[in-house]
């Protein structure tokens, strides 16, 4: 499959155009964004945040600039969809980078008497020990937070974004297949996870070649593993890897993902080492019903909270609330967790183009955890699986 790389820059330009319309509606003189995901979303520039400030700046005339340390200059010029790349020498340095940013804002006619500037944060966040004055103090301007608009915009994925998420799902599926194939009694999660991730990434790179970029700060290629969710530890939803050795009878909760041009996927499965016992079958079947119920309920016009309430009703009806630990799911895209959330406290109306992970779980301390997660696209008619991996119990048994 050919990725829509040539269309990505135009997609980013259109996104920035909608942000510009928002500035006009709110009578803002420009916008300054420090969040890595926002910068990637509007410019295509992927980077690892450090103590050195990086910002996307756009004035109310639509002129776009990227503000970066000198060491990122070539990187930014080669990859950022902006009109200008402005640099400063180093952090903390003298003068401080925020003074250089103030000069850029003045150059772009954003510092005018009575002007109001939009921003995602009142200054660069305190990353890796960074210290600096707030944006409002530095500029002497009023600052209005624009995060809500950006988050709402990012919720609805364009066809280009969906294509990249679909491709990321494809490679997460490949990594998971290798993970399942390599898992066996007597080997460790470290051996299996590293082997599956390395082999899947090699196949990805051989297949996509020069078309591939990760654009992720977390991982390159495809990955799959257990993150310590083995045996009774599987009852801890966010456990950490611990080099556990697989044993007969273990309940396993997996995780597989990939990042393609910054867009993430998520695939999780509950598996068993050997034939499951009656209790394992009981909770697996309930978990699968819960996930199916949530996916079938995921439709335009409903609210995110409604999906969670529908699923919780099943927990309550079958006396399973003692094994509940989290909401039904979350959106996914440039972040592996995004808003909105399939939670009773989220009143966001579900719309076509939203992409969610759907992952209600059951966590039984004496037995382990039971959770599938699939990446699901909301369409005009309902829901579409972007992940493509068996969900039935018999397909997820590791033979002894």
Output the pLDDT for position 52: 98
Range 339-354 average pLDDT: 98
5-154 CATH choice from 3.30.1330.40, 3.30.420.40, 3.40.50.150, 3.40.350.10: 3.40.350.10
Helix axes 36-43, 147-155, angle to 10 degrees: 60
User: Chain centroid to CA 360: how far?
Assistant: 18
**C-alpha triplet 19, 21, 24: angle, nearest 5°:** 115
Cα R_g (the chain), whole angstroms: 23
**Mean pLDDT, to the nearest integer, of 172-201?**
98
Q: What percent of the chain has pLDDT over 70?
A: 100
Confidence of residue 190 (pLDDT cuts 50, 70, 90): very high
Residue 73 pLDDT > 80: yes
| Cα 198 from Cα 224, distance rounded (Å) | 9
Mean pLDDT computed over every residue of the chain: 97
Query: Is the pLDDT reported for residue 327 higher than 90?
Result: yes
What per-residue confidence (pLDDT) applies to 130? 97
pLDDT in tens, 131-161: 999 999 999 999 999 999 999 999 999 999 9
Give the pLDDT of residue 1: 58
Residue 87 has pLDDT above 90, yes or no: yes
Q: Which band of pLDDT confidence, cut at 50, 70 and 90, is reported for residue 219?
A: confident
What's the fold here for domain 156-398?
Answer: Creatine Amidinohydrolase (3.90.230)
- State the pLDDT at residue 278: 98
On whether the CB atoms of residues 262 and 216 are closer than 8 A, the answer is: yes
User: Is the pLDDT reported for residue 276 higher than 70?
Assistant: yes
Residue ranges of domains in the chain: 5-154, 156-398
**CA 22, CA 27: separation in Å to the nearest integer?**
8
Residue range 295-323: mean pLDDT, rounded: 98
């Amino acid at each position: 499959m050919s990725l829509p790389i040539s269309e990505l820059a135009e997609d980013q330009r259109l996104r920035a155009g909608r942000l510009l319309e928002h500035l006009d509606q709110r009578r803002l003189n420009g916008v300054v964004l420090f969040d890595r995901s926002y910068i990637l979303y509007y410019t295509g520039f992927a980077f690892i945040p450090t103590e050195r400030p990086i910002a996307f700046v756009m004035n109310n005339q639509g002129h776009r600039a990227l503000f970066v340390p000198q060491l990122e200059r070539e990187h930014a010029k080669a990859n950022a969809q902006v009109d200008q790349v402005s640099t400063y020498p180093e952090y903390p340095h003298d003068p401080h980078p925020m003074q250089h940013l103030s000069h850029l804002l003045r150059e772009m006619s954003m510092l005018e008497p009575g002007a109001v500037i939009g921003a995602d944060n009142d200054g660069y966040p305190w990353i890796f020990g960074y210290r600096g004055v707030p944006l409002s103090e530095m500029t002497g301007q009023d600052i209005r937070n624009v995060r809500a608009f950006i988050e709402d915009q990012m919720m609805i994925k364009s066809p280009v974004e969906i294509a990249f998420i679909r491709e990321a799902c494809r490679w997460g599926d490949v990594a998971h297949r290798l993970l399942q194939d390599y898992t066996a009694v007597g080997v460790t999660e470290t051996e299996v996870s590293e082997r599956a991730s390395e082999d899947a990434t090699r196949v990805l790179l051989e297949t996509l070649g020069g078309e591939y970029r990760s654009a992720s700060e977390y991982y390159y290629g495809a990955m799959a593993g257990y993150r310590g969710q083995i045996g009774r530890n599987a009852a801890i939803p966010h456990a950490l890897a611990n080099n556990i050795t697989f044993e007969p009878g273990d309940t396993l909760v997996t995780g597989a993902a990939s990042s393609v041009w910054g867009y993430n996927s998520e695939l999780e499965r509950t598996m068993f080492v050997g034939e499951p016992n009656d209790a394992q079958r009981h909770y697996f079947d309930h978990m699968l019903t819960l996930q199916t119920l949530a996916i079938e309920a995921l439709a335009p016009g409903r609210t995110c909270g409604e999906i969670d309430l529908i699923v919780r009703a099943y927990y309550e009806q079958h006396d399973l609330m003692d094994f509940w630990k989290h909401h039904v799911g979350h959106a996914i895209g440039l972040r592996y967790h995004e808003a909105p959330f399939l939670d009773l406290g989220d009143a966001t109306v579900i719309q076509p183009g939203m992409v969610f992970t759907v992952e209600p779980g059951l966590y039984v301390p004496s037995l382990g955890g039971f959770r599938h997660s699939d990446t699901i696209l909301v369409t005009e008619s309902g829901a579409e699986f972007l992940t493509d991996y068996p969900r039935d119990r018999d397909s997820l048994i590791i033979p002894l």
